[in-house]
Amino acid sequence: MSEDADRPIRAGRRTVRIQRPGKVLFPGRGGAPEYTKGDLADYYHSIAPHLLPHLRGRPLMLERHPDGIDGPRFMQKNTPEHYPEWITRAVVAKEGGTVTHVVCDDTATLLFLADQACVTPHRWLSRTDRAAGPDHPDRLVFDLDPPDDDFAPVRAAAAVLRTLLDELALPAAPMTTGSRGLHLVVPLDGRQDFDEVRRFAHEVAELAAARHPDRLTTAVRKEDRGDRLYLDVQRNAYAQTAVAPYAVRARPGAPVAVPVAWPQLEDPGLHARRWTIADALEQARTDPWAELPARGRGLGPARRRLAELRD
């Protein structure tokens, strides 16, 4: 069989054909291995049981690289008309109209997106399949963005935020981004809207930076940060997205955004691109977020406690 011949993959009741599975999406260079579209599809097929719970019901922005990661990048919001009818859509409001996003509810959809050279699915922090609707997030994300590739300040910042969130009785879980930094994910009950959640996240970040002004900052302008680590809360806004757990990133070697357990952050060898499509499934099988409560918390008690801490 030619490397360009379509390859069918069975996913539940459906069969998805991967076109040109031998097409190189991740060129091998600098010691990084080469990976093809077929490799990407195989990874998403195997990781689906761990990834889909983080995607279901959520509008997606699709990061597509039809000519590989060295070619043009397309950030796709609208769902093309030629996409199969069995793929779930979500129509959400935007300024002056609506957008019809893809929602990935099953493995077949995940494979179809891989066939479309969607390297990275970026998810909304809210869901369209819940009563609260897309205006009310059930996730809050702190994006720990280092000024360079040094991961040690990221680990230190995560520890600071964890201590503060513990004081607020808000469980949080860390995730390497597969790029440079770390996300801390806080499950919410979806009662507050995006404006309330972002305001709260900003106040938490400001308090963390005030406690460690030499190491942390909330300054949006890069020239105002110096060598301090930026606590980014801008993703906590309507229509903003965050990389999904276990999503592949468009970088050499096909690194993956991977949930980690808190003790793993103490490993000095840990970095944002620690896992790739070659070994992310092994980490997923350890269930690193097992201690995270299944039900999200409300922000009412946390806001009152935060006000006390800021006084």
Same domain assignment for residues 260 and 300? no
Same domain assignment for residues 125 and 149? no
Same domain assignment for residues 74 and 119? yes
Its domain, for residue 182, covers 139-238+294-310
Same domain assignment for residues 300 and 185? yes
Same domain assignment for residues 167 and 24? no
Same domain assignment for residues 232 and 248? no
Q: Which residues fall within 8 angstroms of residue 191, CB to CB, at 6 or more apart? A: 132, 136, 298, 299
Stronger pLDDT, 295 or 283, i.e. the higher one: 283
What CATH code is carried by the domain that includes residue 256?
A: 3.90.920.10
Q: CA separation (Å) from 105 to 34, 66, 90, 111?
A: 29, 23, 11, 11
Residue 178 lies in a domain: yes
Q: What local confidence, expressed as pLDDT, does residue 1 receive?
A: 42
Residue 1 lies in a domain: no
Residue 273 lies in a domain: yes
Confirm if 298 and 186 have CB atoms less than 8 A apart.
no
Q: In what order do the strands lie in the sheet with 229-232?
A: 216-217, 229-232, 139-145, 182-187, 173-176, 258-259
Core vs surface per residue 85-103: b (16+ CB within 10 A) or e:
eebbebebeeeeeeebbbb
Same domain assignment for residues 77 and 176? no
Q: What local confidence, expressed as pLDDT, does residue 4 receive?
A: 77
Query: With bands split at pLDDT 50, 70 and 90, how would you rate the model's confidence at 128?
Result: very high
Render pLDDT for 254-276 as a digit per residue (tens, 0 to 9).
999 999 999 999 999 999 999 99
Q: What local confidence, expressed as pLDDT, does residue 3 receive?
A: 57
Residue 301 lies in a domain: yes
State mean pLDDT over 109-134. 95
Same domain assignment for residues 87 and 112? yes
State mean pLDDT over 161-184. 97
Residue 172 lies in a domain: yes
List, in sequence order, every residue forming a beta bridge with 99; answer none if it has no partner. 92
* Residues 258, 64, 25, 145, Cα dihedral to 10°: -40
Residue 210 lies in a domain: yes
Residue 289 lies in a domain: no
* Model confidence pTM above 0.75: yes
60: its two tokens:
């997606």
Same domain assignment for residues 197 and 259? no
**Considering its fold, how many domains does the chain have in total?**
2
- Percent pLDDT > 90 in the chain is 92
